[in-house]
Amino acid sequence: MNYLVYSLVFLLLPNHSLQTDEQNEINYGVLIGKFNIYHHGVGGDVYAVNTTTFFIKSFNYDGMGKDTYFWAGVDNQPGMQGFIVPDRYGRTNVLRKSDNEDFTLTLPDGKSIGEIKWLAVYDLKSFQNFGDVYIPDGFEPPGVAKLTMTIRSDDISCDQVLVEDLKSLMFERLYVFAEDKELYFWVGKGHVPSIRGTRVPDELGYLDPLRNYGNEDVKLVLPGEFTFNNIDWLAVFDAKTNTSLGYISFPNELNVPPNLRQVIKYENTVPKCEQLHANLQIGWDIVGQTITFEIVGLVAENDWLGFGLSGSENKSNMIGSDVAIAFMKNQVPVVHDYKIDARAPCSSVLDVHRGVCKDVLTGGSDSYQVLEGRRKIFDSNYYEILISHRSHERKVNSKSDEIYSGNQSSLSMSSHVNQFSY
Ligand SMILES: *[C@@H]1O[C@H](CO)[C@@H](O)[C@H](O)[C@H]1NC(C)=O
Ligand SMILES: *[C@@H]1O[C@H](CO)[C@@H](O)[C@H](O)[C@H]1NC(C)=O
Ligand SMILES: *[C@@H]1O[C@H](CO)[C@@H](O)[C@H](O)[C@H]1NC(C)=O
Ligand SMILES: *[C@@H]1O[C@H](CO)[C@@H](O)[C@H](O)[C@H]1NC(C)=O
């Protein structure tokens, strides 16, 4: 591969990023109703996220009340008897003006939505109700659903599966014996699991074959636009035999909390792309003797992204690898080429460099050229990256390459790697 010239485009996304509201069908929970509007332009839709939390969509209020709060109570109508519901920041300050804003509100002191009769925007000085919404009798807020796994093999067991929200579930005491198999978490549609499904990342976000699990609690989050409403089953599937060891079937109407994380749509600048990890994508384009790579990662401020040639012919191996590490330094994109021959910081003994060393120290040269590097900032608590497309058409080299991610202070600590070939 030495004759190839690399060029690199990379993009660092922050850990906290935001959705846009473009996709319809975003689930905010169970709709309770719209605020009845009495004064000061109060308006918005009120959803129940779970037993304690509301999602308020497009909230409006002109901010002109003197001593106005979110106010809830158990009487038949909003009045002086009630309690303050802390604002979106968890504070009990006087409400400010709001212009079509979306946020969550959590009831204080472990109170539940089922216990209260109404939520209002109420002024404690004038005893005026500016707007309210009533909780219907017998209202059932979304909650965790308990399902059981259908077992098809002695090599798997699981006590139960908790569906925590529309995209997250927890296997309780999952046991999987993975030797001699090629297992994946696998989702799809239809009555029972079949080869017509999609691999989903494991609990760490990797798409590698599953390891052994020894009665562990394992949490999975569905990627992209998958939710338990648009798939019928999630299986532990063996790609060697095309059979499932066990699976969970999802009922049609799961009354579970929404997942308020949102999807960032990312347009790749190169034609080929592979999702390697929940937070990591590699794209590439080959023109003549030049490969342009695009690495996109959802990482924190001081994180780096890396990828390169594996130390092994046929698997991902950190020792013996040759990797490019990309990061932003004072808003300038930087890429360094490293040779890794030990899991230790670079050190030199008698002029021989061992460890994670810059290529230039070991007689190589920085053979990457940075084309572009960007950091995109979104401002919300929710993030997720969308798999925009994947394609595997062109195989020019059977060598496995690998991707690392980590931060600048822990380069030598990085251990989990992922495979791809192009
Ligand atoms: C309800 O949802 C909120 C926001 O997602 C979360 O902070 C809270 O822990 C949840 N409460 C319960 C009881 O699940
Ligand atoms: C499993 O399915 C794949 C794709 O349909 C097929 O190529 C492969 O031969 C199948 N393997 C077995 C063991 O049936
Ligand atoms: C991986 O490569 C090594 C040496 O390069 C070889 O001995 C081994 O058989 C290979 N394993 C597989 C599964 O191909
Ligand atoms: C970098 O990663 C190491 C190991 O994962 C971790 O202990 C350390 O806190 C991280 N540092 C920063 C600044 O994120």
Residue 43 is predicted with a pLDDT of 94
| C-beta 407 within 6 A of ligand 4 | yes
Residue 346 is predicted with a pLDDT of 84
For residue 182, the ligand closest to its alpha carbon is 2
| C-beta 195 within 6 A of ligand 2 | yes
Residues 41, 94: Cα–Cα separation, whole Å: 16
CB neighbour list of residue 154: distance below 8 Å, 6 or more residues apart? none
Residues 245, 193: Cα–Cα separation, whole Å: 10
Per-residue pLDDT reduced to its tens digit, 293-318: 777 777 766 777 777 777 777 666 77
* Percentage, residues of the chain above pLDDT 70: 74
If you average pLDDT over residues 391-411, what whole number do you get?
34
Residue type, 326: A
3-state secondary structure of 413: helix
Residue 312 is predicted with a pLDDT of 75
Residue 265 is predicted with a pLDDT of 61
Per-residue pLDDT reduced to its tens digit, 198-220: 999 899 888 889 999 999 999 99
Phi/psi for 390 (5° steps) reads -135, 145
Residue 5 is predicted with a pLDDT of 41
| Residue 113 DSSP one-character state | G
pLDDT of 387 over the 50 cut? no
Per-residue pLDDT reduced to its tens digit, 130-175: 999 999 999 999 999 999 999 999 999 999 999 999 999 999 999 9
Edge-first strand listing for the sheet containing 197-200: 150-151, 243-249, 233-238, 183-188, 197-200
Per-residue pLDDT reduced to its tens digit, 51-70: 999 999 999 999 999 999 99
Residue 266 or residue 149, greater confidence: 149
The strand pair at 401-407 and 418-420 is best described as antiparallel
Best residue among 314, 317, 399 to mutate for probing ligand 3, ranked by most atoms within 8 Å of CB: 314
Per-residue pLDDT reduced to its tens digit, 332-376: 777 788 888 888 788 887 777 888 888 777 666 555 666 666 666
Do 95 and 70 touch, CB atoms closer than 8 A?
yes
Mean pLDDT of the chain: 78
* Percentage, residues of the chain above pLDDT 90: 48
CB neighbour list of residue 166: distance below 8 Å, 6 or more residues apart? 27, 227, 228, 229, 254, 256, 257, 258, 259
pLDDT of 107 over the 70 cut? yes
Instruction: Identify which of 184, 167, 168 has the alpha carbon closest to the alpha carbon of residue 176.
Output: 184
Residue 136 is predicted with a pLDDT of 94
The strand pair at 30-34 and 118-123 is best described as unpaired
Ligand 4 atom closest to the CA of 303, numbered from 1? 14
pLDDT of 417 over the 70 cut? no
| C-beta 410 within 6 A of ligand 4 | yes
Kindly give the distance from the C-alpha atom of residue 210 to the centroid of ligand 4, in angstroms, as a whole number: 25
Alpha helices in 68-122 (DSSP H): none
What the block records as the tokens of 171 is 């296997």
| C-beta 53 within 6 A of ligand 1 | yes
pLDDT of 407 over the 50 cut? no
Residue whose CA is at the smallest distance from ligand 2 atom 2: 242
Residue 318 is predicted with a pLDDT of 79
Weakest-pLDDT range from 265-269, 285-289, 380-384: 380-384
Residue whose CA is at the smallest distance from ligand 4 atom 12: 407
